């Protein structure tokens, strides 16, 4: 992501209202055999929406993210809801020098911001090393179909009368990668619009490449499904979920 996190963090939650976070929390609970008392690492936690939901379900949650501005919003959310959560600022491809966890999650295509295959491998190794034996991981990524086809159908627009954006996309330098240029227009109290711009770059890999990386690190694959449904991925699936175990 770009460095304009303070502005992007302020609108992130409103842009993510269509993400079924309750469903994600239920998927994690199912994979973990319940959340009460479980130690969970929420990797790429953003503004803490999922972290708070998991904590409310009885988990002991730690969230990590690369953005201090996102974490500021997350901390404010946790305090406002009286939920004890630890937040740590760091990229996911750096060693995670924390306690051992029962569960790790990398939600809402956060892993797709790690561009190099070697760094994706490093991320999986870091997650493996911070999990207890028998610990489970749930993560999701954009499919190659979404990156190569759907994202190329832009530009996309959005307007809910308080926030508007124009989102232009183009193919990235690596296979299955996308540059996104977004111009945001935020309505002020005076009724005028303030503009700021974001540039995002994401990359994904094939299902087979993810499986190869996962198993090379030492994980076993328990379940692969797509688009929030208990169904295997097909050629036009958009979001691929992996449930893996140490």
Over residues 197-229, the pLDDT tens digits come to 999 999 999 999 999 999 999 999 999 999 999
Q: Which pLDDT score is estimated for 4?
A: 40
Please name the helix (run of DSSP H) or strand (run of DSSP E) that holds residue 102, with its range, or none.
Answer: strand 101-106
pLDDT of res. 3: 40
Cα–Cα dist 164/185, whole Å: 5
Residues spanned by the domain of 168: 146-203
Complete DSSP assignment for 186-220: EE-TTS-EEEEEEEEEEE---HHHHHHHHHHHT-E
Cβ–Cβ under 8 Å, residues 8 and 198: yes
**Average pLDDT value for residue range 8-15:** 74
Does one domain contain both 173 and 92? Answer: no
Q: What is the pLDDT of residues 116-154, one digit of tens each?
A: 999 999 999 999 999 999 999 999 999 999 999 999 999
CATH assignment at residue 189: 2.20.25.110
Q: Over the range 204-214, which residues count as b (16 or more CB within 10 Å of their CB) and which as e?
A: bbebeebbebb
Q: Assess whether pLDDT exceeds 50 at residue 2.
A: no
Q: Within 10 A of 99 (CB to CB), how many other CB atoms are there?
A: 12
Are residues 214 and 119 both part of a single domain? yes
Our count of domains for the chain comes to 2
pTM: 0.93
CB atoms within 10 A of CB 141: 25
Tell me the pLDDT tens digit for each residue of 25-83: 999 999 999 999 999 999 999 999 999 999 999 999 999 999 999 999 999 999 999 99
Q: Tell whether 209 and 228 lie within a shared domain.
A: yes
Each residue of 114-123: pLDDT tens digit?
A: 999 999 999 9
Is residue 5's pLDDT more than 70? no
CA distances, 31 to each of 126, 173, 228, 233 (Å) = 20, 35, 14, 18
Can you tell me which residue has the tokens 């929030």? 228
Note whether 166 and 217 are same-domain residues.
no
CB neighbour class for 228 (10 Å; exposed up to 12, middle 13-18, buried from 19): middle
Residues 105 and 212 in one domain: yes
pLDDT of residue 1: 37
- In terms of domains, do 130 and 213 share one? yes
Give Cα 165 to chain centroid, integer Å. 21
């Amino acid at each position: 992501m770009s460095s304009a996190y303070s502005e992007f963090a302020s609108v992130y939650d409103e842009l993510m209202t269509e993400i079924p976070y309750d469903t994600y929390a239920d998927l994690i609970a199912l994979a973990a055999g319940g959340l009460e008392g479980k130690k969970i690492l929420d990797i790429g936690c953003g503004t803490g929406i999922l972290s708070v939901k998991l904590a409310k379900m009885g988990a002991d949650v730690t969230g990590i993210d690369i953005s201090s501005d996102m974490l500021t919003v997350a901390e404010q959310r946790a305090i406002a809801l009286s939920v004890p959560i630890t937040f740590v600022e760091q990229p996911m491809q750096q060693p995670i020098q924390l306690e051992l966890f029962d569960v790790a999650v990398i939600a809402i295509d956060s892993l797709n911001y790690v561009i190099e295959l070697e760094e994706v491998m490093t991320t999986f190794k870091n997650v493996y090393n911070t999990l207890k034996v028998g610990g489970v991981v749930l993560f999701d990524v954009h499919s190659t179909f979404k990156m190569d086809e759907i994202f190329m159908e832009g530009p996309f627009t959005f307007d809910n009368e308080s926030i508007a954006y124009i989102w232009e996309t183009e193919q990235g330098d690596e296979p299955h990668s996308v540059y996104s240029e977004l111009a945001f227009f935020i309505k002020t109290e005076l009724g005028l619009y303030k503009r700021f711009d974001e540039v995002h770059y994401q990359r994904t890999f094939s299902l087979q490449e993810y499986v190869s990386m996962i198993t090379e690190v030492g994980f076993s694959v328990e379940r692969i499904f797509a688009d929030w449904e208990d169904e295997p991925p097909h050629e036009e699936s958009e979001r691929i979920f992996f449930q893996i175990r140490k």
